Amino acid sequence: ATPTAVMVATGVGANNGVLIKGGDALERAQKINYVIFDKTGTLTQGKAKVTTVKVFSEMDRGEFLRLIASAEASSEHPLAKAIVEYARHFHFFDENFLSEDAQNNREEFVQSGWLLDVAGFSALPGRGVQCFIDGKRVLVGNRNLLSDSGVMIPNDVENFVVELEESAKTGILVAYDDNLIGVLGVADPLKREAAVVVEGLMKMGVRPVMVTGDNWRTARAVAREVGIQDVRAEVMPAGKADVVHSFQKDGSTVAMVGDGINDSPALAAADVGMAIGAGTDIAIEAADYVLMRNNLEDVITAIDLSRKTFSRIR
Ligand code: ADP
Ligand code: MG
């Protein structure tokens, strides 16, 4: 293609909210064989909602929610936001205590004094959070986080989590003082266009893949809903780039679509990295394409644009 054609295509992309960082990226997109999608925030809306709260101890629901919201208040993870949001609503309806500002605003809620003091907070990417409240360790996250921290997961709890996962929900386990005290179920609906885009890619001869840090059962349930057969689950953030490399081995051209900090190594490793515009700055920086409309149809738009630009002129 002539430099003019590339410039025109880049402009057409920009008009459609598809920002392309350079002619090389535009050219590579025509050859894409695989599109690897991150799950949370990419295939799904990233608007997780707590659907289930189950306390497995004497603690009452309010206390339980206060504890986990306190632990998650400093995390930026979509799951953490969902938990804090749920606790805020629960607390408002339960006690009618919150000021009007705090009812409407997460930050105000966090500042409202209802949450407990937290020491030694750490976010464990792909696993959850850990902190100390009243000198006791609090863990909120997946089963690997809890079992690797030496927390016993009783059978009834495990069965409950499995049930959640089979209905495409993420189960979040909570330990206080190294005892399992409860479980949350979180649902994150698919983007409306996700299934159509997956089907469209297959029609174009491009193979869709899903990669996620979430557990296998939830991952499979979500993949089934969206029509993706090839799934990689329980992948730690650094592992997502390895997944990209594994698809590149036979000389295939691999696109990665993601939104999170944990996707940025994979976005950089891919032949074509595509960041969701609503995603984190780090992901946007690592990508070759930015999909400003946050609509997955633009993955197809991007491939089409490249194919048209580079076939017409030859
Ligand atoms: P994804 O690859 O789907 O974007 P992540 O790698 O961010 O997912 O997280 C993987 C899993 O780690 C989540 O499904 C959840 O079980 C757990 N997790 C991560 N962060 C948190 C958190 N702040 N609170 C609870 N669980 C978390
Ligand atoms: Mg994500």
> Which atom in ligand 1 lies closest to the alpha carbon of residue 240?
2
- Note the pLDDT of residue 96: 55
Least confident piece of the model among 183-192, 244-253, 273-282: 273-282
pLDDT, tens digit, 9 for 90 and up, residues 119-134: 999 999 889 999 999 9
Mutational test site, ligand 1, from 70, 172, 183, 186, max ligand atoms within 8 Å of CB: 172
Q: What is the mean pLDDT of residues 216-239?
A: 96
- Note the pLDDT of residue 109: 79
- Note the pLDDT of residue 304: 96
**Spatial distance between the Cα atoms of 171 and 162, rounded to a whole number of angstroms:** 8
Task: Mention every residue, 6+ apart, whose C-beta is less than 8 A from residue 82.
Answer: 47, 48, 49, 50, 186
pLDDT at 85 over 50: yes
**Spatial distance between the Cα atoms of 175 and 138, rounded to a whole number of angstroms:** 6
pTM of the predicted structure, to 2 decimals: 0.89
All domains of the chain, ordered by start, with CATH? 3-45+190-312 (3.40.50.1000), 49-187 (3.40.1110.10)
Going by pLDDT thresholds of 50, 70 and 90, the confidence category of residue 280 is confident
Per the annotation, the verdict on 38 as an active-site residue is yes
ipTM for the whole complex: 0.97
Residues by chain with Cβ below 5 Å of ion ligand 2? 38, 40-41, 259-260
**Cβ atoms < 10 Å from Cβ of 226:** 21
